[in-house]
Amino acid sequence: MPRRPRLILPRTPLHLIQRGNNRQPCFHSDSDYLVYLEWLKEHADGTGCAVHSYALMSNHVHLLISFDDEAAPGALMKAQGQRYTQYFNWRYGRSGSLWDGRYKSCVVQEEGYLLECQRYIEKNPVRAGMVDFPAQYRWSSYRCNAEGKADALVRPHAVYQRLGKDARERQQAYRDLFINVDERLLEQIRAALYTEQILGNAAFIADVAHRLRLK
C-alpha cells in the first residue's frame, strides 16, 4: 500500500516526531544528546529550517520547525537521521536502523496553536514523569524560550516575538502559558500529529485542504 503524501506547506510551521525503533532508547548519555543537538543545528541551517521548539526524550524526538522550501523538512530529517544513526551504531557496537520508520508530522496554525504546540513539546518530560517542572529538563528548548538561556539552535517564531516588547516580558508571558493547560487541546495536538493531519481551527484546516487540494 503506497504511503500517504505528507502535508507540508512552505512558511507554515510543522510539528515532527521521530521515535526509536521498537521504542528503544536513542540516547544513552549526555554526549549523545549534545552530538544530536550540534548536528541538528548544522543540518537545520544547511536545509533552511528554523527550529522553534524541541524536546529530546530518551526514545523519541519532538521538533517544531518552519521553512521556505517544502523539501527542507525531509532533507533535514534524512541528514540528521542518517548521521546520528551512524554515530550511535559505532558508539554502541550495533547495526541496523535506529529509527522506527519515517517521522510523523502535522501542519500547525500559527495564531492560537503554535505556542500551544511549543508548550506541548516542552512539557513532554513532565508528562513522562522525568521531572516536575520543564526547567528541570536539560534537553529541551524550554529554558531558552522561558528563561532566556542561550541556545544557538532555537530561532524564535514571530508569534513568540509578539508576546512582549522585550526579552524579559516575552519570557514571562511564555512561562505564564504553562500555568494552566487545556486537556482538550492536548488531545487535539496528539491526534493531529499521530494521524499526520492539520492542527488548527476549522477555517485554517479548510484553507490548508484547499491549498493542498485535499478531499
In the sheet where 198-199 sits, what is the strand order? 49-56, 60-67, 14-19, 104-108, 198-199
pLDDT tens per residue, range 61-96: 999 999 999 999 999 999 999 999 999 999 999 999
d(CA 50, CA 160): 13
DSSP assignment string, 43-96? HHHHHTEEEEEEEE-SSEEEEEEEESSTTHHHHHHHHHHHHHHHHHHHHHT--S
- For the cut 80, the answer to whether the pLDDT of residue 5 exceeds it is no
Question: Confidence class of residue 2 from pLDDT cuts 50, 70 and 90?
Answer: very low
Show Cβ contacts of residue 38 under 8 Å, excluding neighbours closer than 6 positions: none
Query: Taking the model in full, what pTM does it have?
Result: 0.95
Q: Report yes or no on 145 lying in a domain.
A: yes
The residue-averaged pLDDT of 97-111 equals 94
For residue 33, pLDDT over 70 is answered with yes
Q: In this structure, is residue 168 part of a structural domain?
A: yes
Domain encompassing residue 32: 14-202
Residue 25 reports pLDDT greater than 90:
yes
**Number of folded domains in the chain?**
1
Of 5 and 42, more confident: 42
CA atoms within 13 A on the CB side of 31: 4
Q: What CATH number has the domain bearing residue 176?
A: 3.30.70.1290
| Tally of helices (H runs) and strands (E runs) in the chain | 9, 5
Does the pLDDT at position 180 exceed 90? no
pLDDT at 42 over 50: yes
Domain assignment present for 4:
no
On average, the pLDDT of the chain sits at 94
